[in-house]
A = this chain, B = another copy of it.
Amino acid sequence: MGTVGKALDILDLFTHRQPSLGLSQLARLSGLNKTTCHRLLTEMESRGLVEQAGPAREYRLGPAVLRLAALRESSVPTRDAAMPVLRRLAEATGETAHVSHLVAGRLQTLAFCYAAQSGMKVMMEDADFLPFDATASGAAVLANLPRGEGFRLAASARDPDALHARIEDCRRNGWAETHSTMQKDVQGLAVPLFDAGGICCGAVAVAAAAPRMTPALHATIVAELIRAGTEITALRGGDLPDPIATLWRSAAGKDPK
């Protein structure tokens, strides 16, 4: 692995749970020795990608990432474009809505939205990266990737049989579902998102509190997810592959059989 890759991997150690980290922690988590880690951090600090703050001079992400994200959003609207759709999804279902994006073989949480009306809600702050084998979003993405890439990303699953059953369900239904796999008493439902050319690039999901799930709410979530998946895919100029388009029309009851 090259020096640049090592430096960029350090950036992935910062999460909502740990937005600030000391040099010793970063060295330990990255597996680099402290001298190397410090040198890479200093180079990134000189460009504003990280900064030191607080009495302990811990590192955190720097202001330069904001210009990069604003520029990315203006050429490929993704996060800002998805927010209104997420807000409506959270409101319509009363549960937590989130969207994730496949980045360098991992599923990154891009944005989330809580339902205002629910005092009890599934929190998303800890989920910076979604494990493929423990989330509905992961299954929705794996079910819609080219087989080879899906197999590769599924290879490290702790329970391959359960994951493959979930993937098969998603291929049949057009949406994926998990029960208490990532957090206890959380039911996840997700649909895939597609780029131009019909390539799966992420997922939009609802993380619902299982104790209040009902068949009616389940049907609402599926219908709203299909609507959100269609809209976000369209917003980023993507195309639904024919099999998904057919499944979603059918599931949405527009093509009753």
Contact = CB atoms under 8 A, between A and B. Distances in A.
Interface of A: 2-5, 7-9, 11-12, 14-16, 19-20, 39-40, 43-44, 46-49, 60-76, 78-79, 101, 103-104, 108-111, 125, 128
B104 A67 contact: no
Q: How many copies does the complex hold?
A: 2
22 contacts: A4-B40, A4-B43, A7-B7, A8-B44, A15-B71, A16-B71, A19-B74, A48-B104, A61-B71, A63-B72, A63-B101, A63-B108, A64-B104, A65-B65, A66-B69, A66-B79, A66-B108, A67-B109, A67-B110, A70-B79, A70-B110, A74-B125
Contacts of A104: 46-48, 64
Given A11-B68, A47-B104, 5 more contacts: A4-B4, A61-B68, A61-B71, A64-B108, A66-B73
Contact of A69 (B44, B69, B103): B69
Given A47-B9, A67-B109, A75 B103 contact: no
Contacts of A72: 60-63, 65-66
